[in-house]
Amino acid sequence: MIRVRFTTSEFNRETNVWVELPIAELIADGEEVRVSGPRAEWISLDIGVIDPENRERVTRADGAERWARLLPFAFRNGDIDVEVSEVAEAELGGVAFRYSTAA
Amino acid sequence: MKIDAQIAAVRAAQGILGIERSMLSEAFVGPPAPTSSPGVNATKRLALSDGATVFHKPFSGVSVANALAFGQTDETPPLHDAVAWRVAVALGEPWQSLVSPCVLREHDGDDGALSLQASGWPGDLAPTLSPTWCSSAAFFDSLVAQQDRHADNWRWDGSRLTLIDHGYAFARPGDILNHTDLLVARRDHGATALLDAERRALERLLGDAGLLGIESLLLPDRAQALRARAERMLARGEVLRPGEF
């Protein structure tokens, strides 16, 4: 199971500190994909990604987990931070809570 | 670097607009935003003293495997970010307002492309729904041979479209295409024919021996491909087909 966290940051000019803001969390489990979070609609599930290993264009239909692992290559301008991790079912317990209070 | 001459030419060209002068002169405030995905171009989010948020894509941080997969080199993505903006400036409106401003500037000793954050949000397909919104962008993407224009590589704020991330542009014939969604949308709307302003812009570009200064900013084969695309578009009176670089 692959978890992809999408976040952005906002600079607080009073404290000179960046504040992380959650956008969405995508779970690819086998062939199934779930997206949740305060800005889940920002994440297009129709993006194809070029696999740098073999120049192959990979879409969700080619395998949700493979596609999810490649998603950082679709977000390159720095506006959206993309973190990919492999997770077990038991680790997903806090996911909904994490995003439930986000702006 | 193999693109030293092109970098020098961009540096000589930039700074003519107020927004460029601000991006070149305003001090960086605070540290870069922490990132969890440094592997893709090592782009840093930074704050400028005038309140702007910018993104610094260093030449030293290009994801080489990904760049090579697109037919780019290990150096061209930051250069192409800056050159795409120079093309928009050379063409004038409406394209200048459509592209996120970008200059070459050092941050923390690393040279790279510094792009201004665009207003709006990603992932919105609204610009594809009407030729009014997608036409100018489709013309631009066709001309600069954009290889990866999907809904997360533009921003939409409900009334304004801004194109971001031109690292994978100025492709050559045979190079790979991932997305060109705005060009596809324009063609799907049956609006392939060039508008008068587009025809005039191409005539102005081709009427200048140095492509309005753009030729010197690109590697020779990519400048030649740009010229050839402009000539084809003008000869046919249409935007190009997706992947026709």
| pLDDT surpasses 50 at B203 | yes
Domain that includes residue A62, residue range: 2-89
Residue B155: strand pairing partners: B162
Among B122, B129, B104, residue whose Cα is nearest residue B188? B129
Cα angle B200-B202-B206, degrees, rounded to a multiple of 5: 120
| pLDDT surpasses 50 at B129 | yes
| pLDDT band at residue B34 using 50, 70 and 90 as cut-offs | confident
Asked, for residue B163, whether it belongs to a domain, the answer is yes
Cβ distance of B34 and A83 shorter than 8 Å: no
Whether B120 and B157 have beta carbons less than 8 Å apart is answered as: yes
Q: What is the pLDDT of residue B202?
A: 98
d(CA B78, CA B88): 16
Asked, for residue A26, whether it belongs to a domain, the answer is yes
Asked, for residue A97, whether it belongs to a domain, the answer is no
d(CA A95, CA A63): 23
Q: Name the phi and psi angles at A49, rounded to 5.
A: -130, 135
Asked, for residue A60, whether it belongs to a domain, the answer is yes
User: How many residues are given for chain B?
Assistant: 245
Q: What is the pLDDT of residue B86?
A: 98
Spatial neighbors of A88 by CB under 8 A, at least 6 apart, are: A1
Q: Name the phi and psi angles at A39, rounded to 5.
A: -130, 45
Q: What is the pLDDT of residue B182?
A: 98
Amino acid B96 reads Q
Q: Please state, for a pLDDT cut of 90, what percent of chain B lies above it.
A: 95
Cβ distance of B152 and A16 shorter than 8 Å: no
| pLDDT surpasses 50 at A97 | no
Residues B177 and B200 in one domain: yes
Q: What is the pLDDT of residues B224-244, one digit of tens each?
A: 999 999 999 999 999 999 999
Cross-chain CB nearest to B150 (options A47, A80, A82): A47
d(CA B150, CA B28): 30
A87-96, B25-34, B100-109, B130-139: range with lowest mean pLDDT? A87-96
Q: What is the pLDDT of residue B40?
A: 61
d(CA B73, CA B228): 21
Cross-chain CB nearest to A72 (options B37, B115, B151): B37
- Tally of domains in chain B: 2
Cβ distance of B63 and A17 shorter than 8 Å: no
Cα angle B59-B65-B66, degrees, rounded to a multiple of 5: 80
Domain that includes residue B24, residue range: 4-116
d(CA B63, CA B69): 10
A69 close to B (CB below 8 A)? no
Residue carrying the six token digits 């290559």: A73
Whether B23 and B82 have beta carbons less than 8 Å apart is answered as: no
Q: Is the dihedral of CA A29, A33, A36, A40 positive or negative?
A: positive
Cross-chain CB nearest to B115 (options A17, A52, A77): A77
- Tell me, rounded to whole angstroms, the distance of Cα B81 from its chain centroid: 5
Asked, for residue A102, whether it belongs to a domain, the answer is no
Asked, for residue A28, whether it belongs to a domain, the answer is yes
Asked, for residue B121, whether it belongs to a domain, the answer is no
Asked, for residue A7, whether it belongs to a domain, the answer is yes
Among A32, A31, A30, A72, residue whose Cα is nearest residue A49? A72
Which chain B residues touch A51 with a CB distance below 8 Å?
Answer: 69
- ipTM of the complex in this document: 0.91
Amino acid B200 reads R
Asked, for residue A6, whether it belongs to a domain, the answer is yes
Whether B36 and A81 have beta carbons less than 8 Å apart is answered as: yes
Which chain B residues touch A26 with a CB distance below 8 Å?
Answer: none
- Tally of domains in chain A: 1
Residues B100 and B133 in one domain: no
Q: What is the pLDDT of residues B212-223, one digit of tens each?
A: 999 999 999 999
Minimal-distance CA residue of chain A relative to B118: A79
Q: What is the pLDDT of residue B95?
A: 98
| pLDDT surpasses 80 at A79 | yes
Asked, for residue A39, whether it belongs to a domain, the answer is yes
End position of a domain, from candidates B89, B116, B143: B116
Residue carrying the six token digits 């021996």: B209
State chain A's mean pLDDT as an integer.
88
